[in-house]
Structure 1
């Protein structure tokens, strides 16, 4: 390891079988509550605190959103890629943590690693 590299500890979070599509598994690691999501291309993890008003972000519905158009129509897209905070309805991208309403807000994400049937998170960021 070089002098500039930092060690990142992986912490066991849960079993793969405990995470269902469309319903996050909320785990507590130390004093930190984290939502683990199964997406169509793998897993993602978000801090269970909404950066808008500190609500329990991962307890809201997994959803998509409507695309803005110039016509009077609704186009629903990104199904299963967003989490909507149950407190105020603000939507966040599950993979990146970015807020759809205010790009200055971002939910904290944790890198996820799957080893066999176990899910590990990198908590030291």
Structure 2
């Protein structure tokens, strides 16, 4: 396993996400609730650049005709077809078999590293 420096903590505090190329792969680095996540920038549905999609919330399960919004800034919406993924797990919100490819993230001092095979 190799660590690759990909960003500074300040980069993500300011923007919430950072796109970077590592070993020929484009990754999106995200900060959610103070934790860091790295996802490959490829939607499993149609290979769209998912990491440039909107970071938002979603409707929560609720009673009929009740619309409850939640999970603000925890959801990544694919820009092509609107598929929504949990930024903490990479899983699609409906089809849990669909998942973004993720990589381990380590933070040391003010540097963010992605760990890849």
TM-score range relative to shorter protein: over 0.9
Indicate yes or no: 2:70 matched with 1:77.
yes
Q: How does 1:73-112 map to 2 (within 5 A)?
A: 73-112=66-105
1:61 aligns with 2:54: yes
Hey, what does 1:119 align to over in structure 2? 112
Query: May I ask how many residue pairs the two structures share in their alignment?
Result: 117
Q: CA RMSD in A?
A: 1.4
Structure 1, unaligned stretches of length 5 or more?
1-7
Deviates more, 1:51-60 or 1:61-70: 61-70
Structure number, greater radius of gyration = 1
Give the deviation of 1:71 after TM superposition: 2.3
Counterpart-to-counterpart distance in 1, 2:88 and 2:94 = 16
Q: Secondary structure of 1:87's match?
A: coil
What's the TM-score once normalised by structure 1's chain length? 0.87
Output one character per residue of 1:98-125: Cα deviation in whole Å (capped at 9) or x when no partner.
011211110011111000110001111x
| CA deviation profile, 1:19-70 (whole Å, cap 9, x unmatched) | 1466411011121000011111311111110001100010001111101322
Structure having the larger proportion of residues in strand: 2
Q: Distance in 1 between matches of 2:16 and 2:82?
A: 17
The answer as to whether partners of 1:12 and 1:118 remain within 8 angstroms in 2 is yes
Change (3 A) 1:45 1:21: farther
Contact 1:22-1:37 within 8 A present in 2 as well: no
For 1:28, which of 7, 21, 25 is the aligned residue? 21
